[in-house]
Amino acid sequence: MRGRFYFSNRMRRGKMEVSPGRYYPLFADLAGRRCVVVGGGLIAQRKVTTLLGCGAAVTVISPTLTKRLAGYARKRSIRHQQRPFRPSDLAGAWLVLAATDDQRTNTLVSRSAARRRIFTNVVDQKPLCSFIAPAIVRRGPLTIAISTGGASPALAKRLRRELGERLGGDYISMLRLLAGLRGVAKRRLPSYQDRKRYFDALVGGRVFALVKAGKRGEARRTALALLEQRAAANGRRAS
């Protein structure tokens, strides 16, 4: 397809061999950015709901909508164009999702987005995609994305379910503790490598064990004490 900007077959670029199904993992900041969803059914509804949760400015192109999507449109949570897709609908878009049962429309969306160099996903049609959507596990601020390179969405969903069952609240508590320490760690440990070693020690040592035991206050005190020790050691080395 002319204008397509991903690799569908094994090829060489310089000395590097690119394998099919090798995708670059990416968490995109879509807050306030224009995203276009083509389709108004239940699959489109799920995609739109996820995009809204990320703060995206969503435009839906479809002659018809589900009840929920129609509700979003009434509340002006989304912009709705009640007609078939046109290539000009992609002007200014950062991301495009196509979820229709019309092959001609899906192909037109893919080609139009490729010409504009806009990342595109056509649901369940990997050859028309420039990115694929992972299965997602969310627990508070923790997000885990699972991909099988498009080989088996069913297996990705099973992995999502199993990981979701294994992740307890201690991971969320630990993540919040680490996030709260980032600012003071940057001030006390100016070197990236020193900060990396510090946070690795927190995750792999006594602090995480305390969090798992429900001793969050003691965990924070222990983390801060370790930070002071490492900052003092850095000061001695610098002098």
H or E, element range at 169: helix 169-188
Convert the pLDDT of each residue in 157-170 to its tens digit.
898 888 888 887 88
Convert the pLDDT of each residue in 104-137 to its tens digit.
999 999 999 999 999 999 998 989 999 988 888 8
Q: Is the pLDDT score of 5 beyond 50?
A: no
Return the closest-CA partner of residue 59 out of 37, 26, 77, 84: 37
Return the closest-CA partner of residue 126 out of 95, 155, 143, 147: 147
- For the whole prediction, is pTM greater than 0.85? no
| Averaged pLDDT for residues 92-109 | 97
Question: What domains appear along the chain, each with residue ranges and CATH number?
Answer: 1-7+26-133 (3.40.50.720), 169-238 (no CATH)
CA dist., res. 80 & res. 46, Å (int): 16
CA dist., res. 54 & res. 32, Å (int): 9
